[in-house]
Chains A and B, each alone.
Chain A
Amino acid sequence: MQNRRLQRWFDSKGWIAVLIGTPYLWLVALFLLPFLIVLAISVATNTPTAPPFSFGGEYPWVNWGAYARIASDDLYLRAFLTSILNAFMAMIFCLLIGYPMALGLTRVPKGWRNILLMLVILPFWTSFLLRVYAWMGLMGKNSWFNGILTDLWNVLVPAAWALKSIPMMYSNFAVIVVIVYCYLPFMILPLYASLERLDTTLNEAAMDLGSRPFQVFWTITLPQSIPGIVAGGMLVFIPAAGELVIPTLVGDAAQPMIGKIIQDEFAQARDWPMAAAVAVALLVLMVIPTMIYTRYQARAEGAK
């Protein structure tokens, strides 16, 4: 009899609990909990114990020292600034390159479109690391690419400014270029999806009323694609700000980005509270962009 009742409950409600509960529990245990721990450690004190933190002193055992250092120490402030600037510049260039591509894709005849879309996605499926690596090959002092650019430079400028090679590597410029390269699909795909949904009869109506193609773009297409632009932009900006791989490989060691700072504080300086505090600070900084993203993502899809 008990079995029958259990069966009934499972059939109507129990299975739902299992369906929702299993992934929920996993995420709480392996995502939320670790994050809460980081939050807690950010207000602990760095001690030479293992693990290297402790909640010393008296109630409430909270040490705001790490956050104080972030606010006052130049190193952190500059790192945040560098990260935000690089991410922002990368986002702009992704937009400048990606928008025409996405728009062009919507104008390509149907037969070609799938192939071209596939070609856009293909680099995304290959290794991220290797894509950074590919640019390292191009930007190096002795690469053929650098050689061509140097020759071009030398032709265009007076002899006094001639160079043996263009110094591209190990700079913010390199970081921005590579971020653009690696995150471009993240901009193109949502943009394409949102542009593709637009009603082209609106464009025809505008042209019928006397507008030229560029005006049609500026007054009809562009305004409607703004949710897609913002969503795609945030999709580039937010992860780019916290990038670790790209600045390590091609960035300027004297102008670290925040991801590198977090790793250094953690692994090198063994200062967990500091690393945790910087991580939390980065997240807080990203809250507003995230909210912007969710709002515009919903709008970009609601525009269906």
Chain B
Amino acid sequence: MGIDPARASDTPFLRIEGVSKNFGTFPAVKDVSFDVAKGEIFSLLGGSGCGKTTLLRMLAGFEDPSEGRIFLDGRDMAGVPPWERPLHMMFQSYAIFPHMTVAANVAYGLKHEKTMTKSDRAARVAEMLDLVQLTQFAHRKPHQISGGQRQRVALARALARQPKLLLLDEPLAALDKKLREHTQFELMSIQQRTGVTFIVVTHDQEEAMTLSDRIAVMDKGEIKQIGSPTEIYEFPTSRFVAGFIGSVNSFEATVAAREAPYLRLDVPALGGQFMARDLPSAHVGQKVSLAIRPEKLHLSKTRPDGVNTAQGHVKDLAYFGKDSLYRIALAGALVQAHAVNARRGDEGARVADWDDAVWVSFDPSAAIVLVD
């Protein structure tokens, strides 16, 4: 559910404990708990309405939890108003103050640092502008710079006070593809240089996968799974998470036997018995799902060796240049397979064409068993 055992040891940097938020009778966030380590990039990933933004706002202090507590660096944040919390937020719309210059924007929070002198503040502003490479735009007004530059102002402004935690609300959402890739790397590099802990809220799985050290997948106010990108992608613990990240083929199955380290399953849709990675909690006779990702399916014209094979024909084919997506009709189901076009292609070099008969196979360790 929530707490990642590997990290729950010593005092975590950020601890969310049993936090819920109800708007009237509507439960936006349901009993969420997790820890974040210092210096991590942690993402909250989910579709709209899953509660991730509400959680972020509770962290920032704009909403109060209906239940539960939030500890930042050991300190309980209950009753602490947003302007006193040692964390800052980079808003989705950037929220740059339109009537102030770039430098004034970045300097805004610093006036609350009682121990800094005027020259200290000026030096910090210069340092921040240098960090985001906006030094020569210091005297411009927001309407005189581009969207991407405005985002960097928002970042510099939020980091100026050297907060313990930086909250990022959909940081890459408003950027076009090219800028997105560039900004991704910039964010990671800035995070490394400053060592600030990042919490990112996003609906974009690519964003989450590339940026994060760990991801929490959320749905309808609950956390479905927390793990590193690899863990989430390769070892999802629920059908929801498996389907949310990337694509997945899943079929109803019954556990026939345990043949460590695999499980033998009856899969009617595929027309036979198949082997998949063992799920320790599963017992013989249990109704489960067999899940396998499209890129892990192997296609061939002739029957391959191996224990997991099925025969069908190509129903649909989408050619993307560097790869192709196949829809293959098997005994009782349609299956998606993804193949890289590794060979120089002309019609003859493709594995299979429309309506061709084709064999689908996969390695037992590439398939997993899911119980919900």
Inter-chain contacts of A11 with B (CB < 8 A): 81, 83
Inter-chain contacts of A12 with B (CB < 8 A): 81
Chain B: residues with Cβ within 8 Å of the partner, total of: 2
Inter-chain contacts of B81 with A (CB < 8 A): 11-12
Whole-angstrom distance from the CB of A8 to the nearest CB of chain B? Answer: 8
Give Cα distance in the complex from A223 to B83, angstroms: 50
Give Cα distance in the complex from A12 to B81, angstroms: 8
Whole-angstrom distance from the CB of A37 to the nearest CB of chain B? Answer: 42
Q: Which B83-109 residues have C-beta < 8 A from chain A? A: 83
Q: Which B54-108 residues have C-beta < 8 A from chain A? A: 81, 83
Whole-angstrom distance from the CB of B132 to the nearest CB of chain A? Answer: 31
Whole-angstrom distance from the CB of B280 to the nearest CB of chain A? Answer: 51
Chain A 1-28 near chain B by CB (<8 Å), digits 1 or 0: 0000000000110000000000000000
Give Cα distance in the complex from A12 to B61, angstroms: 12
Give Cα distance in the complex from A11 to B81, angstroms: 9
Q: Which A194-226 residues have C-beta < 8 A from chain B? A: none
Give Cα distance in the complex from A11 to B83, angstroms: 10
Give Cα distance in the complex from A12 to B83, angstroms: 11
> Which B residue's beta carbon lies closest to that of A8?
B81
Whole-angstrom distance from the CB of B60 to the nearest CB of chain A? Answer: 15
Inter-chain contacts of B83 with A (CB < 8 A): 11
Whole-angstrom distance from the CB of B118 to the nearest CB of chain A? Answer: 25
> Which A residue's beta carbon lies closest to that of B79?
A8
Give Cα distance in the complex from A12 to B82, angstroms: 10
Whole-angstrom distance from the CB of B273 to the nearest CB of chain A? Answer: 61
Give Cα distance in the complex from A124 to B81, angstroms: 48
Whole-angstrom distance from the CB of A2 to the nearest CB of chain B? Answer: 18
Give Cα distance in the complex from A11 to B80, angstroms: 12
Q: Which A71-117 residues have C-beta < 8 A from chain B? A: none
Whole-angstrom distance from the CB of B52 to the nearest CB of chain A? Answer: 26
Q: Which A221-244 residues have C-beta < 8 A from chain B? A: none
> Which B residue's beta carbon lies closest to that of A12?
B81
Q: Which B278-306 residues have C-beta < 8 A from chain A? A: none
Give Cα distance in the complex from A11 to B112, angstroms: 15
Give Cα distance in the complex from A11 to B84, angstroms: 11
Whole-angstrom distance from the CB of B333 to the nearest CB of chain A? Answer: 46
Q: Which B134-148 residues have C-beta < 8 A from chain A? A: none
Whole-angstrom distance from the CB of A130 to the nearest CB of chain B? Answer: 38
> Which B residue's beta carbon lies closest to that of A11?
B81
Give Cα distance in the complex from A11 to B79, angstroms: 13
Whole-angstrom distance from the CB of B326 to the nearest CB of chain A? Answer: 43
Give Cα distance in the complex from A198 to B83, angstroms: 43
Give Cα distance in the complex from A239 to B81, angstroms: 48
Give Cα distance in the complex from A154 to B83, angstroms: 80
Whole-angstrom distance from the CB of A53 to the nearest CB of chain B? Answer: 51
Chain A 226-266 near chain B by CB (<8 Å), digits 1 or 0: 00000000000000000000000000000000000000000
Whole-angstrom distance from the CB of B80 to the nearest CB of chain A? Answer: 11
Whole-angstrom distance from the CB of B28 to the nearest CB of chain A? Answer: 22
Give Cα distance in the complex from A11 to B82, angstroms: 11
Whole-angstrom distance from the CB of B264 to the nearest CB of chain A? Answer: 62
Whole-angstrom distance from the CB of B208 to the nearest CB of chain A? Answer: 35
Whole-angstrom distance from the CB of B243 to the nearest CB of chain A? Answer: 39
> Which A residue's beta carbon lies closest to that of B81?
A12
Give Cα distance in the complex from A137 to B174, angstroms: 62
Give Cα distance in the complex from A273 to B71, angstroms: 68
Give Cα distance in the complex from A265 to B254, angstroms: 95
Whole-angstrom distance from the CB of B225 to the nearest CB of chain A? Answer: 37
Give Cα distance in the complex from A96 to B81, angstroms: 57
Whole-angstrom distance from the CB of B85 to the nearest CB of chain A? Answer: 14
Q: Which B31-68 residues have C-beta < 8 A from chain A? A: none
Chain B 156-186 near chain A by CB (<8 Å), digits 1 or 0: 0000000000000000000000000000000
Whole-angstrom distance from the CB of A122 to the nearest CB of chain B? Answer: 30
Give Cα distance in the complex from A244 to B290, angstroms: 85
Give Cα distance in the complex from A12 to B62, angstroms: 12
Q: Which A58-72 residues have C-beta < 8 A from chain B? A: none
Give Cα distance in the complex from A12 to B80, angstroms: 11
Residues of A within 8 A of B (CB): 11-12
Q: What are the 3 A-B residue pairs with the smallest beta carbon separation, nearest first?
A: A12-B81, A11-B81, A11-B83
Pick 3 A–B contacts, CB within 8 A, sort by A: A11-B81, A11-B83, A12-B81
